[in-house]
């Protein structure tokens, strides 16, 4: 099965689906009433925000440029958010909820096998970040300029992801599958390997590497480091 299909089993990670979820999550702040209009425009706004932000940063993106790229006027934008910061929070929320929901959804058949579970977590995280690449890059690069509450959520979300990995590692250690002294430290080392896929995507693409191939390479590398290769 193609990696896209595998991922699709767990959720719809298209731009439109993300826009729909964001609309639902922020219905009270968005003035446009008719959902199909709102979802379509919101998708264009978010697409343009990611495109412009990931080039020079969110701060450097002017709302005038955004309006033009999204096909709206300055005033029109403000039917969809009540301030530039809200736009940032909307995108961030979508990233962390997508990651949290997916990683907690490991199927029955891998939960009992630590090595398979670890491979599943690594592969799914990479496939998700591939499907939502601009979202992930945005969340990673703009993390330092989050408003305080959003920053707290982001840190909590990252800690939750790491805890899932740490649990599988210590479970595997207890069963004698992994040789690992400090599961939390090992989990902390896996995280940047996952992030590197989307943060440095151009570099990997230049070497002709696909998301699947990267996921496989990281899994092998990690499992060998854990003495289960």
| Residue from 4, 16, 27, 71 in contact with DNA (CB under 7 A) | 71
CA separation for the pair 133, 139 (Å, rounded): 10
- By the rule CB under 7 A, 45 interacts with DNA: no
Show the site string, 166-205: x = touches DNA by CB under 7 A, - = not. Answer: ----------------------------------------
CA separation for the pair 229, 120 (Å, rounded): 15
Nearer to DNA, 73 or 145 (CB): 73
- Furthest CA-CA distance within the chain: 61
- From the list 44-52, 98-106, 111-119, 196-204, the region that binds its own copies by CB under 8 A is 196-204
- By the rule CB under 8 A, 189 interacts with its own copies: yes
Among DNA, its own copies, none, the one that 31 touches (CB under a kind-dependent 5 to 8 A) is DNA
- From the list 27-35, 44-52, 71-79, 190-198, the region that binds its own copies by CB under 8 A is 190-198
DSSP string, 20-65: HHHHHHTGGG-----HHHHHHHHHHHHHHHHHHHHHH-TTT--HHH
CB 74 → DNA: shortest distance, Å? 4
Q: What does the binding site for DNA look like in residue numbers (CB under 7 A)?
A: 31-34, 37-38, 41, 61-65, 71-76, 78-79, 82-85
């Amino acid at each position: 099965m193609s990696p896209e299909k595998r991922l699709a089993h767990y959720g719809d990670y298209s731009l439109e689906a993300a826009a729909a979820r964001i609309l639902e999550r922020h219905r009270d702040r968005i003035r446009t009433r008719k959902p199909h209009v709102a979802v379509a425009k919101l998708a264009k706004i978010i697409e343009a925000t990611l495109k412009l932000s990931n080039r020079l940063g969110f701060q450097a993106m002017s709302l005038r440029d955004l309006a033009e790229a999204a096909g709206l006027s300055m005033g029109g934008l403000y039917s969809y958010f009540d301030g530039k910061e809200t736009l940032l929070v909307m995108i961030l929320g979508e990233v962390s909820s997508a990651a949290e929901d997916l990683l907690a959804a490991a199927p029955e058949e891998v939960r009992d096998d630590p090595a398979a579970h670890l491979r599943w977590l690594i592969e799914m995280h990479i496939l998700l970040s591939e499907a939502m690449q601009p979202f992930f890059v945005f969340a990673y690069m703009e993390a330092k300029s989050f408003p305080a509450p959003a920053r707290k959520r982001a840190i909590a979300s990252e800690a939750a992801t790491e805890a899932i990995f740490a649990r599988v590692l210590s479970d595997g250690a207890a069963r004698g599958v992994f040789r690992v002294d400090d599961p939390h430290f090992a989990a902390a080392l896996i995280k940047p390997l996952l992030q590197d896929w989307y943060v440095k995507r151009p570099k990997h693409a230049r070497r002709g590497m696909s998301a699947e191939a990267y996921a496989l390479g990281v899994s092998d590398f990690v499992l060998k480091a854990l003495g289960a290769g």
